[in-house]
Amino acid sequence: MTAPRRPPTRLVLLGHPVSQSLSPVFQNAALAHAGLAARYETMDVPPERVRETLESLAAEGAAGNVTIPHKEQARATCSRVTPLADRVGAVNTFWPDDDGALCGDNTDVGGFDELVLTALDAPPSGVRVALLGAGGSAAAVLAAVERWPGCEVAVWGRGGERGRALAERFGRIASAAATPDAALTGARIVVNATPVGLAADSAMPVDAAQLPPDAVVVDLVYRRDGAPTEFVRRARERGLRAVDGLPMLIAQGALAFERWFGFAPDREVMWRSVR
């Protein structure tokens, strides 16, 4: 699938909640820099209205992104998806095709790859990953790790059954962990793919004291005010290397921009807008 011949003039981020997102800040900066008339806005949509909202947006020629907790439902709504979005089972980027069909991609995978490279000195190889979470973001992490040579993932989800089901889908590299401790044992990379910490409070997915002493912590959550998340802060206090999700947000947003318009945005402009 390629960018639509008629570029969208309206871009929307669907989520619930969604007011904390920085996406409008850097996307509107990139749009203005590129001389495009489109504007990017947020839309708080409850789960029962996701399908009708996406279909209505596609009918008017709008495109956009999807965030927590709607990514899997967006995949089910799209008529056409990229192989990567199909593998993940979640869509975070959508647009209408020239015939009006709703298309979807998952740019979280590429965004996560770039986030990990900001935390490590080299691409991962032969490491054990502890993955906390079992939703659409966690599936994107697994789709990325599948491409890393010799890596394995221990998946722990708070719901139990979702974590087991996700691990089975990616059974070549993943196994379900019964407890957070079991997931963390021997992990070189620890990924928080839960929404815990999104509310900018002191909540953490696991106690930082449980983290392996040589682990690299990757938190997909970020704080709108630029401060590190509590999980990142506590990990750094223990002397661990830790990064939050802002580099991933910018990277996946840049990849989405390219999907909508057929050319890459100026990433430095995006970064300047959020700094």
Q: Within 120-229, where are the H helices? A: 136-145, 161-169, 180-184
Helix (H) or strand (E) holding 190: strand 189-192
The answer to whether 173 is a known catalytic residue is: no
CB 59 within 8 A of CB 28: no
Q: Which is it for strands 93-96 and 102-105: parallel, antiparallel or unpaired?
A: antiparallel
* β-strand partners of 176: 155
Residue 154's φ and ψ, nearest 5 degrees, are: -100, 120
| Residue 94, helix vs strand vs coil | strand
Q: HSE of 49 in the Cβ direction (CA atoms, 13 Å)?
A: 10
CB 245 within 8 A of CB 222: yes
CB 235 within 8 A of CB 211: yes
Residue tagged active-site, from 70, 71, 75, 87: 71
CA 27 to chain centre: 16
Rounded Cα–Cα distance for residues 18 and 22 (Å): 9
* β-strand partners of 130: 154, 190
- Tell me if the bond preceding 69 is cis, omega within 30° of 0: yes
- How big is the chain, counted in residues? 275
* Among 18, 107, 103, 115, CA closest to 68: 18
Q: What tokens does 116 get?
A: 């990990």
Task: Return the active site residues.
Answer: 71
